[in-house]
A and B are shown apart, each in its own frame.
Chain A
């Protein structure tokens, strides 16, 4: 078994040079993979929420199992939770009965199995991928899983973080391990510097446009280069978050001083001597210079523009300033444009929008709200447009209110809500009506994602805010430059 895994390692690395992924993977192999069996991989951190965990607890009960390491799992409520304050704090019942039932089930499961729950009224509650980092629960070099495909977000810290299914949630609860085949590695180098008005969201949408929505299937991505180094942690999370929209279960960025200064003093990050020990370990994680990736591409960040999607998957993406592509003899493309009610060859700029959604695990952090608020300050959203601003967590909400961002949104005519996934997935009733256009800072523009028949245009918080003011798809540089 050992000989085989050594051979496998030699085949996938050059000498002793290792990628960051390889290092983290090998540090978590409880049992190395063989041709007959996948690796048993240890899971450092497990996040759970109300939607993908109930059936996993059912399996534990059926088999008489306990949660092996409850302190390594953290639960919260985000997907089906209301964003109306009165339904969380005001004693008003949760409007959707099935959502209330699901939330009650999570509360029961966590109490019964001894798992910590950041409950509906907790001031640390929020979207799983927002609260993990802000609490310092997410750390570099860890393996982190959650029954949610946007778990790739945590890769921004140099963690190996990926989404799993409910059966796997049960496996992690019972054994703290998963059976995994080693994925391949894919380096995405972005050189240069982003232009004004071009955000981390535009960067990742450009990358997805480049590799396609299945381009990362089977790979763990590592985002590298000057542009990645220049990003804040929140921006890096936006990039890693959407790795799955390129087909990759995980995307990683090497930790550096930006990472460490973000984590220092986070409530659950190591302190004192433990911090120093952790830091020494984290500094060893970056890919060795010259380490070989299975695939590698290099892009020039200086060429990127504000981006927006026009179709029904995140790979159908274009510059806000451009025209919708034309494709001959492609019925699937035609079907997507028909669903969207858009015309090939027409500019996307000026397309009327009905709804603006600012939030989600992609763009629901404080810096996202700041950038949208900065653009909205002194403006009012266009007549007939409904704008919903949903902070990614209660802590983001409080921080935004302390800066007065809530006033800017409310004065501009937007609704300011409690945290959650909200209109990204529409499970809590925050939905877009059939046929309406929604410009959304979320991550998926699939048919019906924001409600049956809803038409989603994915964009950055800046582009969403600019479009809210005009009531039409607008290049944010119109505001920034003039």
Chain B
């Protein structure tokens, strides 16, 4: 996992509430046994027509979206299926952070484990971002602040252990394995 310190980028905006993981990556693309290369299927049914042609009006297909690392979306982003292919696809496409006024539990957990930063902001900040696609923002994970173009700094919550892992580019598995002694003790006390 790539460590995250600071992300500075213009935003791409999807001004829809309740964007579910079936939209982020449709189920027919989950018949894979690797996590590589899912970016081309990101938002597939919104990005492409049924004949595979690019829909030029969709936000991700507009020229100004090129190179953007921050996605802004409406309330309750990432609801539905637990597929980790959703953050894999977002990361593979080039996103490093997702901002919404609410982010669904499983999606948030999956994102944090892969180096995609889920950022929940208050309603006025969320509204401003939705209304200003392309805004240049700076996300600082060390100070857990999101800086808007006018200099306003908005603090966002990140679970402390996840923040530690993201800052250092480490994953949780090593930590879990380091609790081996406690796990063994727990297992010995289990009733058969």
**Chain A residues proximal to chain B, CB less than 8 Å:** 30-31, 35-38, 40, 42, 51-52, 54-55, 58-59, 63, 68-69, 79-80, 96, 98-99, 101-102, 105, 147-149, 163-168, 170-171, 174-179, 181, 183, 213-214, 217-218, 244-245, 247, 249, 274, 277, 313, 315, 331-332, 335, 425-427, 434, 444, 446-449, 452-453
Q: List 9 A-B contacts (CB under 8 A).
A: A36-B160, A37-B160, A149-B81, A164-B106, A174-B177, A175-B179, A434-B50, A446-B20, A447-B22
Contact with A179, one of B20, B33, B176, B182 (Cβ below 8 angstroms) = B176
Contact with B30, one of A51, A183, A315 (Cβ below 8 angstroms) = A51
Name, among B16, B33, B183, the residue most crowded by chain A CB atoms within 10 Å (CB to CB). B33
B113-152 vs A, Cβ < 8 Å mask (1 yes, 0 no): 1100000000000000000000000000000000000000
Which residues of B sit under 8 angstroms from A176, Cβ to Cβ? 183, 187
Contact with B183, one of A40, A98, A148, A217 (Cβ below 8 angstroms) = A40
Given known contacts A55-B35, A427-B30, A179 and B175 CB-to-CB distance under 8 angstroms? yes
Contact with A167, one of B80, B114, B186, B187 (Cβ below 8 angstroms) = B114
Contact with A214, one of B23, B76, B114 (Cβ below 8 angstroms) = B76
Q: Is the CB of B160 within 8 A of A102?
A: no
Whether, in the assembled complex, B159 has its beta carbon less than 8 Å from a beta carbon of chain A, the answer is yes
CB distance from B24 to the nearest CB of A (A): 10
**B88-115 at interface with A (beta carbon < 8 Å):** 102, 104-106, 109-110, 113-114
Given known contacts A214-B102, A446-B23, A149 and B80 CB-to-CB distance under 8 angstroms? yes
CB distance from B169 to the nearest CB of A (A): 15
Which residues of B sit under 8 angstroms from A102, Cβ to Cβ? 31-33
Which residues of B sit under 8 angstroms from A54, Cβ to Cβ? 32-34
Q: Is the CB of A30 within 8 A of B23?
A: no
Residue of chain B at shortest CB distance from A451 = B28
Whether, in the assembled complex, B155 has its beta carbon less than 8 Å from a beta carbon of chain A, the answer is no
Name, among A58, A174, A448, the residue most crowded by chain B CB atoms within 10 Å (CB to CB). A448
Q: Is the CB of B76 within 8 A of A213?
A: yes
Which residues of A sit under 8 angstroms from B8, Cβ to Cβ? none
Which residues of B sit under 8 angstroms from A38, Cβ to Cβ? 159, 161
Which residues of B sit under 8 angstroms from A447, Cβ to Cβ? 22-23, 45
CA of A171 to CA of B171, assembled, Å: 10
Which residues of A sit under 8 angstroms from B105, Cβ to Cβ? 183, 217-218, 247, 249
Name, among B15, B74, B175, the residue most crowded by chain A CB atoms within 10 Å (CB to CB). B175
Q: Is the CB of B31 within 8 A of A175?
A: no
Which residues of A sit under 8 angstroms from B176, Cβ to Cβ? 40, 171, 174-175, 177-179
Which residues of A sit under 8 angstroms from B110, Cβ to Cβ? 165-167
CB distance from B189 to the nearest CB of A (A): 10
CA of A371 to CA of B20, assembled, Å: 31
Chain B residues bordering chain A, tally (CB within 8 A): 53
Contact with B16, one of A79, A101, A335 (Cβ below 8 angstroms) = A335
Whether, in the assembled complex, B10 has its beta carbon less than 8 Å from a beta carbon of chain A, the answer is no
CA of A449 to CA of B23, assembled, Å: 9
Which residues of A sit under 8 angstroms from B102, Cβ to Cβ? 214, 217
CA of A202 to CA of B74, assembled, Å: 28
Q: Is the CB of A332 within 8 A of B16?
A: yes
**Chain B residues proximal to chain A, CB less than 8 Å:** 15-18, 20, 22-23, 26-28, 30-35, 45, 50, 74-76, 79-84, 102, 104-106, 109-110, 113-114, 159-161, 164, 171-173, 175-177, 179-180, 182-183, 186-187, 191-192
Residue of chain A at shortest CB distance from B160 = A36
CA of A176 to CA of B80, assembled, Å: 25
Q: Is the CB of B17 within 8 A of A332?
A: yes
Which residues of B sit under 8 angstroms from A59, Cβ to Cβ? 173
Contact with A165, one of B15, B22, B106 (Cβ below 8 angstroms) = B106
Q: Is the CB of A149 within 8 A of B82?
A: yes
Residue of chain B at shortest CB distance from A57 = B33
Q: Is the CB of B74 within 8 A of A332?
A: yes
Residue of chain B at shortest CB distance from A176 = B183
Which residues of B sit under 8 angstroms from A449, Cβ to Cβ? 22, 27
Residue of chain A at shortest CB distance from B31 = A98
Which residues of B sit under 8 angstroms from A55, Cβ to Cβ? 33-35, 84
CB distance from A43 to the nearest CB of B (A): 11
Which residues of A sit under 8 angstroms from B76, Cβ to Cβ? 213-214, 217, 247
Residue of chain B at shortest CB distance from A100 = B31
Q: Is the CB of A166 within 8 A of B84?
A: yes
Q: Is the CB of A452 within 8 A of B45?
A: yes
Which residues of B sit under 8 angstroms from A335, Cβ to Cβ? 16
Residue of chain B at shortest CB distance from A30 = B186
CA of A168 to CA of B176, assembled, Å: 11
Contact with A247, one of B104, B159, B175 (Cβ below 8 angstroms) = B104
CA of A313 to CA of B159, assembled, Å: 28
Given contacts A42-B183, A171-B173, A244-B106, 13 further A-B contacts (CB under 8 A): A30-B183, A38-B159, A51-B31, A52-B82, A165-B83, A213-B76, A214-B18, A277-B191, A332-B16, A427-B30, A444-B80, A446-B80, A448-B45
Q: Is the CB of A31 within 8 A of B182?
A: yes
Which residues of A sit under 8 angstroms from B183, Cβ to Cβ? 30, 40, 42, 68, 175-177
CA of A119 to CA of B192, assembled, Å: 27
Given known contacts A444-B22, A444-B80, A105 and B33 CB-to-CB distance under 8 angstroms? yes
Which residues of A sit under 8 angstroms from B164, Cβ to Cβ? 36
Residue of chain B at shortest CB distance from A424 = B27
Which residues of B sit under 8 angstroms from A179, Cβ to Cβ? 161, 172, 175-176
Q: Is the CB of A181 within 8 A of B159?
A: yes
Residue of chain A at shortest CB distance from B1 = A167
Contact with A163, one of B34, B74, B82, B171 (Cβ below 8 angstroms) = B82
Contact with A40, one of B83, B109, B182 (Cβ below 8 angstroms) = B182
Given known contacts A80-B31, A446-B20, A52 and B179 CB-to-CB distance under 8 angstroms? no
Residue of chain B at shortest CB distance from A313 = B18
